Amino acid sequence: MGTLRGTGPFVYEAPNESLLLLQSFMAILTLTALAIAAEVSERKKYETNLIQMIDHDSLTGVMTRRRFLTDLERYLAQARRYGTHGALMLLDLDDFKSVNDTLGHPAADKLLTSVADLLHRRLRDSDILGRLGGDEFAILLPQTDEPQALRLADQLQAAIASHATLVGGRPLKITASIGITLFPQRGISVMDLVSQADLAMYQAKGAGRNLTRLYVEDTEWQERLAAEFKGEESVREALENGLFVLHGQPILDLRRDEIWRYELLLRMVGKDRRLVRPGVFLSAAERSGLILEIDRWVISQAIDLIARHPEEPGVSVNLSEKALCDPGLPSLIRRELTAIPTDPGRLTLEIAETAVTSNPERTHNVVRALKSVGCGIAVDDFGAEFTSLDRLERLPVDYLKIEESFIRESPHSPVDRALVTEMVERAHLMGRKTIAKSVEDAETLRQLRAYGIDYAQGFHIGRPRPMRDLRREGGNLQAESSRAPRSGNQGLRDV
């Protein structure tokens, strides 16, 4: 109105021009205000996203380690002030490293995301979920006592074990080990509680995985755990410095009375130059994922042995369950056999019966791939899991290695004798041969012949010895029909 009346900075000779100048100014002012508002909004959005990135894991969307520990500290401060209680749970996926190593990072990331979503759906709104790193998740459970925490852990483990993540169109399953500690019973310090739950979780892994352990004061167990951590370092050093050696235990052909195979048994040379048996270091190797490297090393050594000593018996090698998750294993064996031309039939690969029962589809695919290379396949500890012989009929294996308890008890137990006889008869009908373990006396060996078992091994036939000693003595070691091998192999029983 002032401009139209001829006052103010926008007045021109023509009223219309004055009004147009005023409107242009107002438009510029409005656009400037909108631009400033957009700038502020974008900055706030950026700051919000930055906080989100800092506080939440970019892969799984759950809280990061820093944010989780901050919230845990805040809740523990309230617990100290108001006397509230709760539980801290650490959940670690079993054998996750093998998934990463064999299927690749994209598959492992997809599995982690899927498990995180599953956990989020299973928890209460008041619970706090965080990813501490790798495949380890932490859960804060406010106002939760011991029975409630253990019940939730069972539910989470069951849900994870039954959950399948589709990777490449195929379902991928995994299990989890859980450690739990309670507060204020076990303390109200963040680091103390995290350490306690971590120790309990490793105890669950050491007891067999897919288990839950509640933290308790156990100095002896903590010292044992510390020794196992050193064991992992020792395994890594042994791989790097060539401190693994192979011993061979003879397997006797009961029809021809001569050594048919040597089962290769792994030993590790300790710092005191004494041999360390597998029971001491294999658990550390499996937990750290180094077992895959060990499997490959043993197979390479086995192929080298049969190639360089064609006049001696073949060898038998145990594969770990993790080796069955290694898609590159058949290709590795094929390359090794091609590099040093030899008969692949002189190499027998043993897989545990537990692998057949835990993941039959995967085992069938791996066995079929290994058979295509030309190697013999044996199912070790057959009978321990009561696997159906009908299921094994569909599995392309060559040998059934009967679980040692049946053999050990058969001279005294009519039930075990009947079971062994049935196993042998059914195996022969399916075109499989049988191997007996733990033959420790002449009477057991005599009975095995009566059962019709094809091969046998045990201390009565020969104790494990370094392969270099066996090669020096000669491989075609004969055996008498009713007792251990003759004098050429006598030393095997004395070591």
Residue 99 is part of which domain span?
65-217
CA separation, residue 117 to residues 121, 148, 365 (Å): 6, 21, 30
Q: Are residues 413 and 444 in the same domain?
A: yes
Strand positions, DSSP E, 143-287: 165-167, 170-172, 176-183, 212-214, 244-253, 258-269, 275-276
Res 391: pLDDT: 66
Which residues of the chain register pLDDT less than 50?
Answer: 48, 50-51, 474-495
Instruction: Count the residues in the chain.
Output: 495
Amino acid identity at 134: G
At residue 45's C-alpha, the angle toward residues 39 and 49, to 5°, is 145
Tokens of 450: 């009566």
Say what the pLDDT of residue 408 is.
77
| Whether the Cβ atoms of residue 280 and residue 443 lie closer than 8 Å to each other | no
Count how many domains the chain has: 3
Q: For the chain, give the mean pLDDT.
A: 82
Read off the CATH number of the domain in which 170 is found.
Answer: 3.30.70.270
What's the DSSP call for residue 324? G
Separation in Å, CA 283 to CA 176, 278, 280, 290, 372? 17, 8, 7, 10, 31
Q: What is the pLDDT of residues 227-280, one digit of tens each?
A: 655 677 888 888 988 999 999 999 999 999 999 999 999 998 877 677 877 766
- Is the same domain home to 145 and 287? no
- Predicted local confidence at residue 98, as pLDDT: 73
Same domain as 105, residue 50: no
pTM of the model: 0.56
Q: Say if 222 falls within a structural domain.
A: no
The residue among 18, 33, 55 that closes a domain is 55
CA distance 152 to 32: 57
| pLDDT tens readout for residues 436-485 | 988 988 988 999 999 999 999 999 999 999 887 765 554 444 333 333 33
Do residues 349 and 266 both lie within one domain? yes
**Claim to verify: residue 159 and residue 234 sit in the same structural domain:** no
Of the candidates 102, 90, 92, 91, which has an alpha carbon nearest to the alpha carbon of residue 172? Answer: 102
CB 203 within 8 A of CB 216: no
Residues 243 and 190 in one domain: no
Question: Is 149 within 8 Å of 198 (Cβ atoms)?
Answer: no
- CA–CA distance, 336 with 307 (Å, rounded to integer): 10
Are residues 245 and 201 part of one domain?
Answer: no
Q: Which of 217, 244, 271 is the last residue of a domain?
A: 217
| Residues 249/462, Cβ–Cβ less than 8 Å | yes
CA atoms within 13 A of residue 482's CA, in its CB half-sphere: 1
Q: Do 270 and 385 belong to one domain?
A: yes
